[in-house]
Amino acid sequence: MKKLNVPSPVASVFTRAIASAGLILGLLTLTVADASDRAVVPGGIYQWKPPEGATQIRFNNRPLMRLEERVLVGVPLRQALGQAELEYQLNGEPRTHTFSVVDKAYTEQHITLQNREMVNPNPEQLARIRGESSRQRQLYLQFSDTQLPNQGFIQPLQGRISSLFGHRRFFNGQARNPHSGLDIAAPTGTPIKAPAAAKVTLVDDLYYNGKTVFLDHGQGLVTMYCHLSDQLVTEGDAVEQGQIIGLVGATGRVTGPHLHWSVSLNGYRVDPQSMMTLLTPTSVEPQ
Ligand SMILES: [Zn+2]
Burial 11-47 (b: 16+ CB within 10 A, else e): eeeeeeeeeeeeeeeeeeeeeeeeeeeeebbbbbbbe
Whether CATH 2.60.120.10 fits 39-101 = no
Q: How far is the C-alpha of 11 from the C-alpha of 7, rounded, in Å?
A: 6
Residue 34 has pLDDT above 80, yes or no: no
Query: How high is the pLDDT of residue 269?
Result: 97
Q: How far is the C-alpha of 174 from the C-alpha of 259, rounded, in Å?
A: 23
Query: How high is the pLDDT of residue 138?
Result: 95
Residue 22 has pLDDT above 80, yes or no: no
Query: How high is the pLDDT of residue 28?
Result: 40
Q: How far is the C-alpha of 272 from the C-alpha of 114, rounded, in Å?
A: 29
Residue 51 has pLDDT above 60, yes or no: yes
List pLDDT tens digits, range 136-170: 999 999 999 888 777 889 999 999 999 999 988 88
Domain 108-283 class, CATH top level: mainly beta
Q: How far is the C-alpha of 79 from the C-alpha of 76, rounded, in Å?
A: 5
How would you write 153-195 as a 3-class SS string? CCCCCCCEEEECCCCEEEECCEECCCCCCEEEECCCCCEEECC
Query: How high is the pLDDT of residue 5?
Result: 41
* Average predicted confidence (pLDDT) for the chain: 86
List pLDDT tens digits, range 226-264: 999 999 999 999 999 999 999 999 999 888 999 999 999
Query: How high is the pLDDT of residue 287?
Result: 43
Query: How high is the pLDDT of residue 84?
Result: 97
Q: Where are the domains of the chain?
A: 1-37, 39-101, 108-283
Q: Could you tell me the distance, in angstroms and rounded to a whole number, from the CA of residue 143 to the centre of ligand 1?
A: 25
Query: How high is the pLDDT of residue 158?
Result: 95
Residue 284 has pLDDT above 80, yes or no: no
What residues pack around ion ligand 1 (CB closer than 5 A)? 181, 183, 260
Q: Could you tell me the distance, in angstroms and rounded to a whole number, from the CA of residue 111 to the centre of ligand 1?
A: 11
Q: Could you tell me the distance, in angstroms and rounded to a whole number, from the CA of residue 43 to the centre of ligand 1?
A: 15
Q: How far is the C-alpha of 34 from the C-alpha of 29, rounded, in Å?
A: 8
Average pLDDT, integer, range 263-273? 97
Q: Could you tell me the distance, in angstroms and rounded to a whole number, from the CA of residue 226 to the centre of ligand 1?
A: 8
Task: Please give the residue that has the higher pLDDT: either 12 or 214.
Answer: 214
Query: How high is the pLDDT of residue 282?
Result: 56
C-alpha pair distances (Å), 272 with each of 189, 236, 259, 276: 22, 24, 13, 6
Q: Could you tell me the distance, in angstroms and rounded to a whole number, from the CA of residue 6 to the centre of ligand 1?
A: 59
Residue 205 pairs with which residues in a beta bridge?
A: 211
